[in-house]
Structures are given as structure tokens and as C-alpha cells.
Amino acid sequence: MYESFYGLSQRPFLTLPDPDFLFWSDSHVMAFTMLRYGVMTRAPITVITGDVGAGKTTLLRKLLREVPEEVTTGLISNMQDGRGELLHWVMMALEQPFDANEPYVTLFKRFQDFVIEAYAANRRVLLIFDEAQNMGAKSLEELRMLSNINSEKDELLQIILVGQPELRELIMRPELRQFSQRISSDFNLGPLSKPETAKYIRRRLAIAGATTEIFPERTCELIHEATGGVPRLINILCDFCLLYGFSAERRVIDEDLLNEFLESAKVRGIYNQFAAPRPIPKLVSEK
């Protein structure tokens, strides 16, 4: 709607995860390094957490583009916890046939045979759980049991858990002590700093075809203050600002226009859509 007005080829601030728009903050570089390290070293369990909109799913999509061909990958998103259902999700993600009514022991044997056959064919199996904070303690303990499928020298199954900070609170429970001991790589993805927020905004605009400055430095600073540096919230606010600026025929989103929009957003009750989030909880372990 506003693209031609600002000389853009596409909307720069969509909230859908898109690796082409990935901005490498220091925190994102470290998180992705941990993900790649986990895959390359056959780490049994890797955990990446971050608040809503921090860019976790975008990093996962980037990782999936780079996973070696010899790795069979199963992606499980938004799994809802339920006793005895974990293996159903896993088998579906790996596109393996199974009977939902067969005994658990039979289903486990089917999965174990698949993993062992993959290893015999010089392949390995990687399970990725996105939004893993929705899993319960029993499911995580079941995952630990699955990760015990190994040879004398190699881990046959790798697991990556990606979720909101609540996932770490879950892993800290005493009954999951053995699970936490299996974690070889972990990182908490934090928000962008003030300078990173400005670079993030300009990078997305440049990818979308911008050739002039639309968001001045001071505007970027205020956007960081309003959103807390969370990428998804930055996207929502910037998209609103471009639409607001278009309607007002303002080609530069300056400080006055931003403040005018923020006041309007508070009156209309939409301010909380991009307000700064709660503080990110302490990591499970300092590594």
C-alpha cells in the first residue's frame, strides 16, 4: 500500500520469519553458532531460548537451509503436550509410517530401527522442536530416553529445542536434572541493542529497495525504547509508522511523526502490540 510512496519494492517489516531479511546482531551470531555447533559436533541436546519475536524461528529456517544432506531432519512446531503422543509427532515429522493404535513399545522399536538404519547408511537424524515451551516435563524426559539411542562412539540422534524463556524454567525443575545434564550447547537470544536496532531497520529497508533515509537516527532510538529491541515488535511498529506516514504524506518518519503516532496508538488501544516485553529470565546455566 505504501511501497511506491517510499520507493520500496516490497514491505520491509513483515513479521513472518524470512531468512533473507535476517539481521546478524551479536546475539543472533552467537545463537546461530551454537545451533551449528550442535549439529556439527553431534551434540545430543541443544537449547536456544528467547522472548517472543526475538528471531528464533528465522534462525531455524536459516539453519535448515544449511543442514548437510546426510542429515535426516524432522521439524516439530507447536507440539502440545500429551502423554504417549511425542513419538507420534516425531514419526510424522520424519515422514515415517506408524499405527497410532499400536503399543508404545512397538512404536519405540520402529523409531529405534529407523535411527539405527540411518546410521548404518552413514546418515544421522536431527529432531528440531520449535515453540518447545509448550512441552511438559514428561515429554522432555521421554526425549531424553530417545537421545539414549547411540552407538559406542557416536550419538545417533540429535535434538534441538527452541522456545520462549519458560522452556528454561521447565528444564530447571529437579525431576529434569538428568535431561539438563544431556544439554551440550545452549544460548538465550536477547533483544537488539540501540545501535543494532538502527542497523536492523536500515538493513530491512535497504533489502526492500530504499534509497533514501526514511527513519532518522533519533527515530530509531525512540523505536528501540518503545519496543525494547525485540525484532518482531520493531517490525510491527515500523510497519505502522510507514502506513501512518503514507496517510500523512510524510516521506520521513521523524521524531515528531513517531511521537504523534505513539500517542494515537495509546488512544486507539493498539500500543501494547509493540510495547517493550518483560525482562528475560536468567539462563538455566551459565556456560
For residue 163, being part of any structural domain is answered with: yes
Domain co-membership, 152 together with 48: yes
Which residues in 51-199 belong to E strands, given as ranges? 71-77, 124-130, 157-163, 183-189
Alpha-carbon dihedral angle through residues 37, 35, 48, 21, given to the nearest 10 degrees: 150
8, part of any domain: no
Q: Is 202 inside a domain boundary?
A: yes
Q: Residue 282: which pLDDT band, with cuts at 50, 70 and 90?
A: very low
As for how many domains the chain has, the answer is 2
- Whether residue 235 is found in the same domain as residue 143: no
**Rounded to an integer, what distance in angstroms lies between the CA atom of residue 130 and that of residue 60?**
8
pLDDT confidence of residue 287? 40
| CATH code for the domain in which residue 116 is found | 3.40.50.300
Taken in order 200, 12, 242, 246, is the CA torsion positive or negative? positive
Using CA atoms, how far apart are residues 159 and 126, in angstroms rounded to an integer?
6
Chain center to CA of 176? 23
pLDDT of residue 150: 77
User: Are 44 and 148 in the same domain?
Assistant: yes
Is the domain of 208 the same as that of 176? no
- Residue 280 has a pLDDT of 45
Q: Average pLDDT of 204-225?
A: 96
In a domain, 285, yes or no: no
Taking only the tens place, the pLDDT of each residue in 8-30 is 999 999 988 888 898 999 999 99
Here the cell at position 77 is 512446531
Q: Are residues 92 and 172 in the same domain?
A: yes
Contacts with 111 (C-beta within 8 Å, 6 or more apart), sequence order: 87, 90, 91, 96, 146
For residue range 128-151, list pLDDT tens digits in order: 999 999 998 999 999 999 988 876
Mean predicted confidence (pLDDT) in 78-89: 76
Quick one: three-class SS letters along 202-266? Answer: HHHHHHCCCCCCCCCHHHHHHHHHHHCCCHHHHHHHHHHHHHHHHHCCCCCCCHHHHHHHHHHHH
* Same-domain check for residues 168 and 33: yes
Are 93 and 206 in the same domain? no
Do 196 and 185 sit in the same domain of this protein? no
Residue 218 CB neighbours (<10 A): 12
Q: Based on the domain organization, do 44 and 167 belong to the same domain? A: yes
Stated as kind and residue range, the H or E segment containing 34 is helix 26-40
4 in any annotated domain: no
Instruction: Give yes or no: residues 151 and 40 share one domain.
Output: yes
pLDDT at 276: 61
Together in a domain, 78 and 123:
yes
Q: What is the pLDDT of residues 167-201, one digit of tens each?
A: 999 999 999 999 999 999 899 998 999 999 999 99
Are 219 and 201 found together in one domain? Answer: yes
Residue 171 lies inside a defined structural domain of this protein? yes
From 170, 189, 208, the end of a domain falls on: 189
Which 3 state secondary structure label does DSSP give 187?
strand
Q: What is the DSSP letter of 154?
A: -
Range of the domain at 212: 192-269
What is the CATH number for 226?
Answer: 1.10.8.60
